[in-house]
Amino acid sequence: MSSAEEPKHKNFITQIIDEDLASKKNDTVVTRFPPEPNGYLHIGHAKSIVLNFGVAEDYQGKCNLRFDDTNPHKENEEFVDAIKHDVEWLGFSWGDKAYFASDYFEQLYDYAVELIEKGLAYVDDLNAEEIREYRGTLKEPGRESPYRNRSVEENLDLFKRMRAGEFADGEKVLRAKIDMASGNMNMRDPTLYRIRHGVIHHQTGNEWCLYPMYDYTHPLSDAIEGVTHSLCTLEFEDHRPLYDWAIENTSVPSRPYQYEFSRLNLQYTVTSKRKLTQLVEEGHVEGWDDPRMPTIAGLRRRGYTPESIREFCYRIGVTKADNSVEMGMLESAIRDDLNENAERRMAVLHPIKVVIENYPEGQVEELEVANHPQKPEMGTRTIPFSREVYIDREDFREEAPNKYKRLVLGKEVRLRNAYVIKAEEVIKDANGDIVELRCSYDPATLGANPEGRKVKGVIHWVSAQHAVAAEVRLYDRLFNHATPDAASAKADKPFTEFLNPDSLRTLTHCYLESSLAKAKEGERYQFEREGYFCRDATQAADGKPVWNLTVTLRDSWAKIEQQS
Ligand code: ATP
Ligand code: MG
């Protein structure tokens, strides 16, 4: 992880900030993160959060959390709370109060009146379809609305009556009077206000039936809050002239500037709130916090740490280049973190029982083992050893070539942290499936090989009578296509066609070492030789605790992709 002293961000944006501070254009740095509360935050938002809050931290400035709540139709309080929780969990603080664009509705209304008075805004009676028609195309200029030249007095009167609720939805809008022939479509008299009756806004209730548009609200809110650098994604580049227009033509208290960076696209998933909403609403996933979702809530439940997500954001950097980041980048950030910081445990995911016939019945030895092989400071714990243990089905073969370093019938293997055992006999059921292994152990091999004895293979195990029964959920990529959006456009099929049907494999009969009986929600461990796992908050249908695979020990996908 990056050291505390060095600034975490160095990119074209911090370069601009450095210049602005050097030239005294600004004497402090104020940024903002402006989510719309119409869904949960995803990994793309994390990039924006880490940038906005991180830059503010680096420059001892501040970053406001401001809900962009101008479209009450799809927004609600659940999303507001989830967003706050996620930003906090990522390790950032927005000071004593979260802001809402709706806090400024009254001020924004006054600025609109100011625009009308200056002859820079007018009430239009064209309906949505007509407005679209009049707007023209990229090749053809637009046409002016027949209502464009209403007098200031008439506009003021109509605008007041729009607010008072005298007109129906869509009957009138307020538009900026800019330039219907502009080469930039956003400047062809964009709509500033629309009428929405009958929706209860989560902050302002039914106080308003008149709602400002994002492109109008955003710059003015920035200016009201004294934002200096308004950082947004590249799709807003064409909106910048409108951003500047709104600020330059109203008597706002400060002059923010907008800068754009490229959005994060992550392979094998989607980062569009609309699509994520669809996955949730159509039941393709369990919910916004399904561990396969690229949401912050999903990643948290999957076992990601806030540190790993921040580190991932630093590693991908901030540029203007279009990009599609490999899932392996995100996975290696959490793998690096947990490799350092997660304690080791033993867990058997596909158990077969091993009876050690020469081990005394009823005897239990408490073996002291290290919590982390390279970090003695992480301490030790004891694990019970007894006559019956579980090992993984994958760790036994009746016959195997010499390079198979696990248990083979008639041969020896070491049980990690314990004894060397030898497989003597295989017990099978009527179908030929293995029910049990009969083994012997060598009491002289506890913890180390006696001199001259070479047993190379080491496998993990848990004591059968002490083990905790658990359900383990193994996750794979949510989509089986690296760029589901592009694939869906190309094949003209819904993006859900590219969901990976094997993204969740549930193992219902796993056994964990007894120390995990007390593990709480969110605790993370390396299950030795298996991967990193995190205790889920929920229980399985049969009451067992649930553990989620966070990430495998190695990047198995890199290998697969190399081979293909
Ligand atoms: P919508 O499609 O609903 O507008 P959005 O993803 O833009 O969704 P917002 O809540 O408006 O969602 O986003 C808040 C902030 O997060 C914006 O400043 C936006 O630019 C930024 N953001 C959203 N998605 C990404 C992404 N994939 N990469 C980087 N920043 C993003
Ligand atoms: Mg948006």
The CATH number assigned to the domain holding 555 equals: 1.10.1160.10
Q: Catalytic pick from 36, 307, 343, 436? A: 36
CA proximity to 253, closest of 16, 474, 30, 461: 30
- Given a cut of 60, whether residue 520 has pLDDT beyond it is yes
Amino acid letter, residue 142: G
142 lines ligand 1 (CB under 6 A): no
Tens of pLDDT, residue by residue over 7-51, are: 677 899 999 999 999 999 999 999 999 999 999 999 999 999 999
74 or 531: whose pLDDT is higher? 531
Residues 359 and 397 in one domain: yes
Tell me, yes or no, if 518 is annotated catalytic.
Answer: no
- Residue at token pair 């007095």: 153
Q: How far apart are CA 522 and CA 123, in angstroms?
A: 54
Give the start-end residues of each E strand in 219-360: 229-233, 257-261, 343-345, 347-348, 351-356
Q: Are 385 and 465 in contact (CB under 8 A)?
A: no
- Given a cut of 80, whether residue 363 has pLDDT beyond it is yes
Residue 230 Cα, ligand 2 centroid: separation in angstroms?
14
Tell me, yes or no, if 456 is annotated catalytic.
Answer: no
What element of type H or E holds 107? helix 105-117
Tell me, yes or no, if 361 is annotated catalytic.
Answer: no
Which ligand is located closest to the Cα atom of residue 215? 2
Q: Whose CA is nearest to atom 25 of ligand 1?
A: 44
CA proximity to 397, closest of 432, 434, 430, 431: 434
261, 285, 316 — which closes off a domain?
Answer: 261
Tens of pLDDT, residue by residue over 86-116, are: 999 999 999 999 999 999 999 999 999 999 9
294 lines ligand 1 (CB under 6 A): no
Alpha carbon distance, N-terminus to C-terminus of the chain: 33
What CATH code is carried by the domain that includes residue 39?
3.40.50.620
Residues 77 and 160 in one domain: yes
Q: How far apart are CA 287 and CA 280, in angstroms?
A: 5
Position 562 scores a pLDDT of 60
Residues 480 and 415 in one domain: no
Q: How many domains does the chain have?
A: 3
Residues 425 and 520 in one domain: no
Position 453 scores a pLDDT of 84
Q: How far apart are CA 97 and CA 74, in angstroms?
A: 23
Look at residue 225 and tell me if it is in a domain.
Answer: yes
Position 1 scores a pLDDT of 37
Task: For ligand 1, pick from 33, 40, 45 the residue to mutate: most ligand atoms within 8 Å of CB.
Answer: 45
Task: For ligand 1, pick from 32, 33, 41, 48 the residue to mutate: most ligand atoms within 8 Å of CB.
Answer: 48
269 lines ligand 1 (CB under 6 A): no
Residues 43 and 130 in one domain: yes
Which ligand is located closest to the Cα atom of residue 32? 1
Share of the chain above pLDDT 90, in %: 93
Position 452 scores a pLDDT of 83
Residues 227 and 186 in one domain: yes
DSSP state of 264: P
Tens of pLDDT, residue by residue over 261-307, are: 999 999 999 999 999 999 999 999 999 999 999 999 999 999 999 99
Residues 209 and 84 in one domain: yes
Position 7 scores a pLDDT of 66
Look at residue 65 and tell me if it is in a domain.
Answer: yes
Residues 32 and 81 in one domain: yes
Q: Is 467 left (phi over 0), alpha (psi -120 to 50) or beta?
A: beta
Tens of pLDDT, residue by residue over 460-491, are: 999 999 999 999 999 999 999 999 999 999 99
Q: Catalytic pick from 74, 263, 381, 405? A: 263
- Given a cut of 80, whether residue 563 has pLDDT beyond it is no
Give, in order, the Cα–Cα distances in Å from 162 to each of 108, 110, 157, 217, 405.
15, 14, 9, 18, 78
**Parallel, antiparallel or unpaired: strands 121-124 and 99-100:** unpaired
Residues 211 and 174 in one domain: yes
Residues 328 and 282 in one domain: yes
210, 236, 261 — which closes off a domain?
Answer: 261
Q: Whose CA is nearest to atom 22 of ligand 1?
A: 45
Torsion of CA 281, 284, 286, 290, to 10 degrees: -110
Give, in order, the Cα–Cα distances in Å from 417 to each of 341, 343, 372, 414, 448.
20, 15, 12, 8, 9
74 lines ligand 1 (CB under 6 A): no
Please give the full DSSP string across 65-101, using - where no structure is assigned: EEE----GGG--HHHHHHHHHHHHHTT---TT--EEG
Look at residue 373 and tell me if it is in a domain.
Answer: yes
Look at residue 43 and tell me if it is in a domain.
Answer: yes
Atom of ligand 1 nearest to the CA of 34: 14
411, 430, 460 — which closes off a domain?
Answer: 460
What element of type H or E holds 526? strand 524-527
Position 510 scores a pLDDT of 98
Please give the full DSSP string across 280-320, using - where no structure is assigned: HHTTSSSSTT-TTSSBHHHHHHHT--HHHHHHHHHHH---S
Position 137 scores a pLDDT of 96
Q: Whose CA is nearest to atom 10 of ligand 1?
A: 35
35 lines ligand 1 (CB under 6 A): yes
Q: How far apart are CA 121 and CA 172, in angstroms?
A: 13
Residue 303 phi, psi (nearest 5): 115, 5
Q: Whose CA is nearest to atom 16 of ligand 1?
A: 45
- Given a cut of 60, whether residue 2 has pLDDT beyond it is no
Residues 296 and 222 in one domain: no
User: What sign does the CA torsion over 138, 143, 144, 147 have?
Assistant: negative
Q: Are 455 and 412 in contact (CB under 8 A)?
A: yes
Mean pLDDT of all residues in 342-363: 98
Residues 240 and 297 in one domain: no
What CATH code is carried by the domain that includes residue 417?
2.40.240.10
CA proximity to 297, closest of 483, 499, 522, 519: 522
Look at residue 7 and tell me if it is in a domain.
Answer: no
User: Domain range spanning residue 517?
Assistant: 266-343+470-563
Look at residue 163 and tell me if it is in a domain.
Answer: yes
Q: Are 309 and 297 in contact (CB under 8 A)?
A: no
What element of type H or E holds 225? none
**Parallel, antiparallel or unpaired: strands 468-475 and 524-527:** unpaired
Which three-class secondary structure string do you get for 492-513?
A: CCCHHHHECCCCEEEEEEEEEC
Position 4 scores a pLDDT of 47
- Given a cut of 70, whether residue 5 has pLDDT beyond it is no
Q: Are 407 and 352 in contact (CB under 8 A)?
A: no
- Given a cut of 50, whether residue 501 has pLDDT beyond it is yes
